[in-house]
Amino acid sequence: MWRGYFKKATNMTFIDIDESCLRFEESEINILIGDQSDKSFLNKVIENHGPFDVIIDDGSHLCNDQITSFKSLWPAIKDNGIYLVEDTHTSYWPGFGGGYRNEASFIEFSKRIVDRMHTWWTDQDELFPYNQQPININSVRFYDSIIAFTKKENRTHPFNITSVNGKISKDRRAFGLRERESLFDKDSKFHQN
């Protein structure tokens, strides 16, 4: 099935826990038997088969396994690559480690990534402390039961560089944009009758 979607792929690697899947192995299609929650196994996969253009997680659907796999495999995604997690509706099922707004679910994990992407823009440092480490996630897209992440290496944010008495400082305050009036503020002329 995947060969039909990725016709130009020169090498495809699949992970499954079921040994009967080995029958699908052929030239340029690697079938690896292992557990997606096993970090040492995932590290061997990366070492022997990475880096990857695309990763599709259609594994156990357990929230903890999805998170473990993402944390382990994301560094092996190439720049401009995509990491897709299927069946994320299980994040709402307690039997899969989820539940509505359960912090341990993959959906909530993904929402925290969105927050992490936007810590640059907030002035609520006590809630969203700025992390100096650049984030290499370019986008997070939520679909019905699918979340897709795209990678962009060396993604940086603009700094407002100032000099006071010869001391240079970088400010993440987005060049004073927070202090500017919005077109949609209640006091704006757009709200006057």
| pLDDT one-digit tens code per residue, 32-83 | 999 999 999 999 999 999 999 999 999 999 999 999 999 999 999 999 999 9
Report if residue 149 sits inside a domain.
yes
Strand partners, 149: 83, 140
Q: Residue 13 domain-assigned? A: no
Could you give the 3-state DSSP secondary structure of residue 16?
Answer: strand
pLDDT at 185: 52
Q: Let me know if residue 11 belongs to a domain.
A: no
pLDDT number for residue 151:
94
Provide block-wise average pLDDT over 10 residues at a time, the chain (193 residues).
72 92 90 95 96 93 97 95 96 97 97 84 68 77 97 71 62 51 49 50
Please tell me the total count of domains within the chain: 1
**What is d(CA 35, CA 144) in angstroms, rounded to the nearest whole number?**
26
Domain holding 84: CATH number? 3.40.50.150
Helix (H, G, I), strand (E, B) or coil at 123: coil
Residue 82 host element (H or E): strand 77-86
Instruction: Exactly one of 61, 89, 118, 157 is catalytic; name it.
Output: 61
* Gyration radius of the chain over CA positions: 21
182: three-class secondary structure by DSSP: coil
Q: Does residue 155 form part of some domain?
A: yes
pLDDT at 190: 47
What pLDDT sits at residue 135?
Answer: 72
Q: How far is CA 140 from CA 5, 76, 84, 99, 143, in A?
A: 22, 17, 10, 21, 10
* Annotation says 191 is catalytic: no
Q: Cα(15)–Cα(56) distance, rounded to whole angstroms?
A: 10
Tell me if 143 is assigned to some domain.
Answer: yes
**Does residue 48 sit within a domain?**
yes
Q: Is residue 3 part of a domain?
A: no
pTM of structure: 0.78
Range of the domain at 89: 35-191
